[in-house]
Amino acid sequence: MTDRAADGNVYDPEHPWLKDAKDDPSRANWLHEFGDPTGTTRQPVFLRGQMMLALVRGGIFIATMFLVGSNPWLAAGIAFAGLGLVLVASLCQHVRRLNDSGRPAFLAAIIAIPMLLSVGLGVMGLTSVPEKLEQAQAASGK
């Protein structure tokens, strides 16, 4: 038991690491957390949010793996749109966490720049797929 828990001045006796309502993930406004990069986010809320986004990423990955055999274009669209939205939500929350810790929000670019470059390269690779399909169909005589 911590000293704060012993004297009774805690926000939640079952979770003594929560200092006040801003630390409580059950009271967080998740739409605000993931959609608005202005403001601050405390560490417990940030960690819960990143875990939720990791579960969403896993769900998107599993959905695309099931769809890739039947309709690869739909799977690519779901992966691109879904993972893009998750990336934006994650960046918003990272900027909020950096603001709370007193660090410059520019540090979020360390993650954003490689992600944007990889998305750009992926889109450039997808643009050549129809040409390759036409060449393969012409070569097979269909």
What pLDDT does residue 98 have?
Answer: 92
What pLDDT does residue 115 have?
Answer: 79
Q: Which parts of the chain sit beneath pLDDT 70?
A: 1-21, 142
- The SS3 of residue 35 is helix
What pLDDT does residue 85 have?
Answer: 92
What pLDDT does residue 58 have?
Answer: 94
What pLDDT does residue 4 have?
Answer: 52
What pLDDT does residue 11 have?
Answer: 63
What pLDDT does residue 109 have?
Answer: 82
- Cβ-proximal residues to 82 (8 Å cutoff; 6+ apart), any chain: 56, 60, 63
What pLDDT does residue 21 have?
Answer: 67
- Cβ-proximal residues to 67 (8 Å cutoff; 6+ apart), any chain: 74, 75, 78
- pTM > 0.75: no
What pLDDT does residue 67 have?
Answer: 85
What pLDDT does residue 105 have?
Answer: 85
